[in-house]
Amino acid sequence: DTGVSQNPRHKITKRGQNVTFRCDPISEHNRLYWYRQTLGQGPEFLTYFQNEAQLEKSRLLSDRFSAERPKGSFSTLEIQRTEQGDSAMYLCASSLADHTDTQYFGPGTRLTVL
Amino acid sequence: KNQVEQSPQSLIILEGKNCTLQCNYTVSPFSNLRWYKQDTGRGPVSLTIMTFSENTKSNGRYTATLDADTKQSSLHITASQLSDSASYICVVSPTGGSYIPTFGRGTSLIVHP
């Protein structure tokens, strides 16, 4: 399977714990995006990378959230001191910086904070 | 502020019927407009993509239209199938420096047998 993969698919944690999610993009894609989606809403942009550089970050993103893409391939999203409001689906997408820039999404990581 | 508004919020139709979903946006200038299908618990999958100069784009039973003057797009589904039950999301990408697309909340479509 050469699509975008995300791990884990589901994560249940207690409030105050740290969690880390991983995204493996399509191999030739140089752009990688993280989104958060809650029930009944469209995806909400969190941050985006071009290669290893983090180029944009949502102003709504708490400083408890950090993302890395150290070698320009896979990316990790860490949430520190989780809160119940962090419960959501976390989606990763990748794209090739061409004229369409179509984003291909992974299956998401469902986070539940108890 | 860039916004994408979709209507209706939800829609129930019988299998075999046609339906049309609407998308109004304020993103300007924009690079392209996409429609995605998102099955429950899955990531969105691209259906169509249109640049500002295109009026219509088809993908099988899905046909998207775009009126860049009125900033409106529609997604028409012909001869609906049970597998069309999903959320359909309109996404508009800007030009000029930012690559951050604006997503609508989606229209939840349920197709009944």
Q: Scan residues 2-21 of A and list those with Cβ closer than 8 Å to B.
A: 4
Q: Is B60 left (phi over 0), alpha (psi -120 to 50) or beta?
A: left
Partner-chain residue, chosen from B41, B100, B106, that has the shortest CB–CB distance to A42: B106
A107 with B44: Cβ contact below 8 A: no
The pLDDT value given to residue B96: 67
Q: What is the chain A residue with the closest CA to B32?
A: A100
Partners of B4 on chain A (C-beta within 8 Å) are 42
Low-confidence ranges of chain A (pLDDT < 70): 1
Give the model confidence (pLDDT) of B20-49 as tens digits. 999 999 988 888 899 999 998 889 999 999
The whole-angstrom distance between B109's CA and the closest CA on chain A is 12
The pLDDT value given to residue A72: 85
Give the model confidence (pLDDT) of A40-60 as tens digits. 889 999 999 999 999 888 887
Residue located via tokens 């030009």:
B95
Contact B27, B94 (CB under 8 A): yes
Partner-chain residue, chosen from B32, B98, B103, that has the shortest CB–CB distance to A56: B98
B99 with A107: Cβ contact below 8 A: no
B34 with A108: Cβ contact below 8 A: no
Residue (of B95, B81, B82, B103) closest to B36 by Cα position: B103
Residue (of B47, B24, B22, B10) closest to B102 by Cα position: B24
**Residue A25: is it exposed, middle or buried by C-beta count within 10 angstroms (0-12/13-18/19+)?**
buried
